[in-house]
Amino acid sequence: MPFKFFLSIVLIGTGQLADLQAAVSRPNILLLFVDDMGWSDLGCYGGEIKTPNLDRLADNGIRYTQAYNTSKCWTSRISLLTGLYHHRSDRDFSNTALVGEILKPAGYRTWWSGKHHASFNPHERGFDHFSGFLGGAINFWNPGDVAREGESTPGWRAVYSWAFDKKVVKPYVPGKGFYATDTFSDWALEWLDEKRGENEPFFLYMAYNAPHWPLHAHAEDIEKYKGVYDDGYEAIRQARHKRQLEIGLFDEEIAPLSPPEHRNWTELSEKERREEALRMQIHAAMVDRVDQNVGRLITKLKTTGEFENTLILFLVDNGSSHERPSRGGKDSKSTWGTVGSFEAIGPSWANATNSPLRKWKVQGLEGGICTPMIAHWPAGITTKPGFIYREPCHLIDLVPTFMQVAGKKAKYPANIPALDGVSLMSTFRGSTLQRKKPLFFQYGSWQVIREKQWKLVQRQSDPWQLYNLAEDRTEIRDLAATMPERVVQMKTQWQEWAKEVDIKVRSNRKLKKKPGK
């Protein structure tokens, strides 16, 4: 038994667990957050994409089957980094404390690499290092606005500010060796090499933009998946669902494959089928490359002896994206996946990659708000390897978790809204979360409340739908007509919450924050 954990046990046994224990055993935290990935893309969630590094984390840690996000990029990032429902803040994260602002005073080195879907510089909000862009989506090869020598003009030219600690650059035109997923990892690996004082753990937030559109990937990664998607959407959905049943993620009676919401593959022309298969090849290549870079980070942690006492969490900001944007200045002659191209997977592949769940990004059904989540921490997780945790949790629960593992030096400010989430530490023992309130959701035209196994969901002014997810995980049997009292009770709870967080409700048709909130 390592001395620092033996010492912790001795101190606990004598009733003297104090700052010394916190100093010697507080874990590093590696938060891996990817963008628009499907629920079943990873191998450990049933996918055919090669993700051996993340699969190993799942095999030796915990997989969560009912972890929730907010269904949209920027709203999920507010909840992830503040522990609050996004409705309590705004796109500039006002009236919140970011996790860096909580952990840095507690003695953590705080680093953030990649995407920040807001306009302020995280270096000014508690992060020792921030390198990345202040926006929603980038060209993975060249996020600038001009072509580099010998290349096509970038096919997606959303020109955002980039920050490198105090320095802010706009536009940012990197050298030709740039590929966003790789470069974000390069920056983090440099920080991990920095000298540190004794007993200074780190918090590293890897905000990968992949596999968000545009579909850009290394040619060798795309080639790995040649022919894999030639049989179309439904073949992939069914194959993934079969694997999910085999590995124990679902029971077929509780989670049958949801009805298809994709085009009929056999009705597509040969050219359409070829292009559709290629879209998914590139998407798979982007996920594959994320996993390769996770492997690079893991190798570094093992080399430095930090791996055993690093809490690693992996999750996604929303369901797979159905979007097929038409804007941009793509070069029609550019090979798909290269700098001049601009493509996306669209709704049919979104349906397949979210197997077996219904719908996709920005929707209130499970395919929009459910995220695959992996927790790995050899020194702190006591469940058996490969444990599957099946109770609901949410992005709002991460900051309370980080605070608990950081010890009593991690202080939450008193002059902002109280945390909405609860710590996930009990899940690391396989125990039930002690959540006193339901989970609430609202984005765009969708509103949702999740109370134990019950889920009430509504789109615009459509009738509320009620599902018992303990018996109907894929939301096939709407029970609203047979349980009107429960519908009224849960609807009332949702409306009370909406009032509390200042969502202005107008005949249940348009829901938005009051001005200035």
Digit-coded pLDDT (tens) for 101-115: 999 999 999 999 999
Cα–Cα distance between 507 and 231 in angstroms, integer? 45
pLDDT reported for residue 329: 66
3-state secondary structure 145-188: CCCCCCCCCCCCCCCCCEEECCEEECCCCCCCCCCHHHHHHHHH
Joined together, the tokens standing for residue 243 give 């694997």
- Pairwise CA distance, residues 237 & 315, whole Å: 21
According to CATH, where is 3.40.720.10 located in the chain? 3-429
Cα–Cα distance measured from residue 517 to residue 155, given in angstroms and rounded to the nearest whole number = 36
Q: Which residues contact 307 (CB under 8 A, 6 or more apart)?
A: 298, 301, 378
pLDDT at 8: 41
Q: 3-429 — its CATH code?
A: 3.40.720.10
Over residues 59-77, the pLDDT tens digits come to 999 999 999 999 999 999 9
CA atoms within 13 A on the CB side of 121: 15
346 phi-psi bin (left φ>0, alpha ψ -120 to 50, beta other): left
439-513 has which CATH code?
Answer: 3.30.1120.10
In the chain, which segments carry CATH 3.30.1120.10? 439-513
* Letter string b/e over residues 168-197, b meaning 16 or more CB atoms within 10 A of that residue's CB: eeeebbbeeebbbbebbbbbbeebbeeeee
Cα separation, 110 vs 61, whole angstroms: 24
* pLDDT score for 332: 79
pTM of whole model > 0.85?
yes
Low-confidence ranges of the chain (pLDDT < 70): 1-24, 198, 327-330, 504-517
Q: Is 347 helix (H, G, I), strand (E, B) or coil?
A: helix
Task: Compute the distance between CA of residue 51 and CA of residue 34 in angstroms, rounded to an integer.
Answer: 14
Quick one: which H or E segment has residue 80? Answer: helix 73-82
- How far apart CA 89 and CA 117 sit, in angstroms, is 14
